[in-house]
């Protein structure tokens, strides 16, 4: 049992699934981020160590600014992806998917042997998502700063990240999160993590999770468009492959957003890494990365061959071709 489930069972909080929450049209939605976790890297060498491992520039990561990033193997394939921020000169925080956290920790820790940096999966730190036009006002009511988009803040151990103008992540220990919820004027209504996953999908922000580890390079997840790769920072694990792909321009797969409003297939059957097929080929043309359910049906982010990304896709070579490609909120340059 995790911290969130214990907190909900010990309280009178009402929980909704993501479809019910979308239908309610509330000005503020609070979301349990129990599909994510915190990997803290602490010590005098934390920035230097991570600079030699991650795709983002750690000089751009601070107590007031977060960056998207990835850790890759020597072939440039992603072991993990995360949002990186700092809680001081000797404390870097990586927020990543729970279901890859143990492997991500192990993969980074083996390079930290000769550095003064300690890596810890911080099980005491849990995340609360805020979304809607009422989110900045709620932060103010809690006497927490509402940072600008792409920025973060920290007060008394409570960290706030602005993901977009009306979407924030709050990370703190269980008692601090409980205290924030208890301060709400009415009984808190919490949405399950499917709602947050859906928002990330609609924003075109893909995350490495179990099923696609070590199969995708960062450019395939459009990380070059999202600021998750710095090509001037110097060497890091997998850098040669990633830079070659950028400067030779021979990448033929990118992340697309898919919507399926026709199938009744359950989200649980659409695991990360499941193959996708086009109508004109018996060979797979892509794979699912992240999946969530909406009131309209199934929505997903998938890595798909560029020459197949304009057509309807299916989970089988025989169809049905019910996954249609929808526009991303940013351009692929």
Mean pLDDT along residues 188-203: 94
Task: Judge contact between 232 and 51, C-beta under 8 A.
Answer: no
- For residue 272, which of 297, 292, 253, 293 has the smallest C-alpha distance? 292
The whole-angstrom separation of Cα 39 and Cα 82 is: 10
Provide φ and ψ at 195, rounded to 5°: -65, -45
Helix (H) or strand (E) holding 182: helix 174-182
* Average confidence score pLDDT of the chain: 93
Helix (H, G, I), strand (E, B) or coil at 72: strand
Q: What is the DSSP string of 239-266?
A: HHHHHHHHHHT---EEEEEEEESS----
Q: How confident is the model at residue 16 (pLDDT cuts 50, 70, 90)?
A: confident
Helix (H) or strand (E) holding 14: strand 14-16
The whole-angstrom separation of Cα 89 and Cα 213 is: 30
- Residue-wise pLDDT for 88-107, tens only, equals 999 999 999 999 999 999 99
Q: How big is the CA angle at 132 (ends 39 and 202), to the nearest 5 degrees?
A: 65
**Which pLDDT belongs to residue 14?**
84
- Residue-wise pLDDT for 38-52, tens only, equals 999 999 999 999 999
Characterize the bridge pairing of strands 189-191 and 29-32: parallel
């Amino acid at each position: 049992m995790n911290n969130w489930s214990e907190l909900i069972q010990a309280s009178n909080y009402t929980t909704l699934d993501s479809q019910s929450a979308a239908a309610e049209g509330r000005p503020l939605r609070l979301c349990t981020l129990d599909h994510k976790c915190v990997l803290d890297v602490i010590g005098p060498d934390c920035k230097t160590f991570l600079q030699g491992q991650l795709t983002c520039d750690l000089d751009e990561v601070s107590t007031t600014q977060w960056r998207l990033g990835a850790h890759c193997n020597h072939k440039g394939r992603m072991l993990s992806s995360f949002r990186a921020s700092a809680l001081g000169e000797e404390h870097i925080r990586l927020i990543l998917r729970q279901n890859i956290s143990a492997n991500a920790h192990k993969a980074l820790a083996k390079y930290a042997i000769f550095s003064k940096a300690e890596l810890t999966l911080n099980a005491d730190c849990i995340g609360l998502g805020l979304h809607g036009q009422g989110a900045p006002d709620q932060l103010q009511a809690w006497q927490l700063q509402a940072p600008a988009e792409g920025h973060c803040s920290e007060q008394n151990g409570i960290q706030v990240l602005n993901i977009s103008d009306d979407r924030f992540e709050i990370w703190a220990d269980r008692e601090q999160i409980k205290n924030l919820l208890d301060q709400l004027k009415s009984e808190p209504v919490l949405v399950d993590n499917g709602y947050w996953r859906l928002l990330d999908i609609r924003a075109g922000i893909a995350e490495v999770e179990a099923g696609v580890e070590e199969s995708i390079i960062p450019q395939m997840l459009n990380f070059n468009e999202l600021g998750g790769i710095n090509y001037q920072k110097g060497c890091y694990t997998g850098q040669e492959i990633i830079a070659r792909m950028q400067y030779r321009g021979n990448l033929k797969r990118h992340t697309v957003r898919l919507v399926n409003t026709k199938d009744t297939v359950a989200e649980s059957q659409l695991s990360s890494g499941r193959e996708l097929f086009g109508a004109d080929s018996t060979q797979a043309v892509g794979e699912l990365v992240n999946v969530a359910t909406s009131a309209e049906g199934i929505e997903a982010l998938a890595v798909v061959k560029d020459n197949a990304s304009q057509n309807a896709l299916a989970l089988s070579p025989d169809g049905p071709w019910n996954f249609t490609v929808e526009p991303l909120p940013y351009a692929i340059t």
